[in-house]
Amino acid sequence: MAKALLDLLRRHFPDDLLAVHSQVGDDTALVRAEAWHAVAAFLRDDPRAQMSMLVDLTAVDHPDREPRFEVVAHLHSLERGHRLRIKARVGAASGEGAEIASVSDLWAAASWAERECWDMFGVRFVGHPDLRRILLYPEFVGHPLRKDYPAERAQPLVPYREVPDIDKIEPFGSSEGMSFGRQTHAHPAGEDDALIGPPLVDPAAREVR
C-alpha cells in the first residue's frame, strides 16, 4: 500500500519528489526541503493517505555531504495501516543554514521531537512555537550528535571550583563517553574550543581518593 502512496506523491508533487526507495515494506520519499510541510500536510489530510500518526522525527548527519543533514519523519496511518518515511536535506557542509518548516501544527508529537532534533543536531524548525533545548541546558555550546562535535571534551554546567588540596577530574576519559563514530570525524581547531572546555586528563593519570 505504501508503494501506492509513492505514486500518489509523484502525481501531486512531480517537481518536489526527488527520489523514492521501496524494498520489503521499507518505503521512503525524499522531498525538496521547501515542500516539506506541504507534503506532510497532504499525507495527513488526503483520505487516500490518512497518515494520522507521526511515529518519530529526527535527523542524520552526513558531514562530508552537502546538503549535510537529512531530516527524517516516520508516518503511520492508524486507519489504513500503511506507513511511509519522508526525508528532506538541509544545511551547508559547515552546519550553517540547517532549517526546515515545523510540522508541529500537523502532529502534536512533532513539538518535542523537533526540539530534540534542534538540541542534538542544530536543525532549526521554522514556525515551531517553542524551539529551545529539551535535553541539554540553555548555556550548552554546540550540538552533540553532530559528528564533528568534540566528544573527547567536557562542558561543565558551571566552572569547576577551586578547592585546596583536592585534585579535580573531568567526567570522562578519552576512552569513555560518546565513542560512536567520532574517530573518523576530527573536530577542527577553532575559537569555539575555548568555549567547550579543555581536553580531558589522561585516565591513567587519575588518582583514586
pLDDT of residue 159: 61
pLDDT of residue 183: 52
pLDDT of residue 200: 42
Residues 7 and 60 in one domain: yes
Is 161 a member of any domain?
yes
pLDDT of residue 6: 93
Residues 11 and 108 in one domain: yes
Number of domains in the chain: 2
Residues 158 and 113 in one domain: no
Question: What is the C-alpha separation between 30 and 32, in angstroms, rounded?
Answer: 7
Angle in degrees, CA 48, 54, 58, rounded to 5: 130
Q: What stretch of H or E contains 193?
A: helix 193-196
Whole-structure pTM value: 0.77
Q: Would you say 79 and 105 are in contact if contact means Cβ atoms under 8 Å apart?
A: no
Is 176 a member of any domain?
yes
Residues 164 and 82 in one domain: no
Encode the chain (209 residues) as per-residue pLDDT tens digits.
Answer: 678 899 999 999 999 999 999 887 789 999 999 999 999 999 999 999 999 999 999 999 999 999 999 999 999 999 999 999 999 999 999 999 999 999 999 999 999 999 999 999 999 999 999 999 999 988 888 999 999 998 777 776 666 556 566 565 555 455 544 444 455 566 555 544 444 444 444 444 444 43
Residues 104 and 28 in one domain: yes
Residues 83 and 118 in one domain: yes
Full domain range(s) for residue 56 = 2-126
> What CATH number has the domain bearing residue 116?
3.30.460.80
Residues 154 and 115 in one domain: no
Residue 4 CB contacts under 8 Å (≥ 6 apart), including other chains: 48
Query: Cα 206 to chain center, whole Å?
Result: 35
Residues 99 and 200 in one domain: no
Q: Would you say 187 and 196 are in contact if contact means Cβ atoms under 8 Å apart?
A: no
Residues 96 and 198 in one domain: no
Residues 48 and 89 in one domain: yes
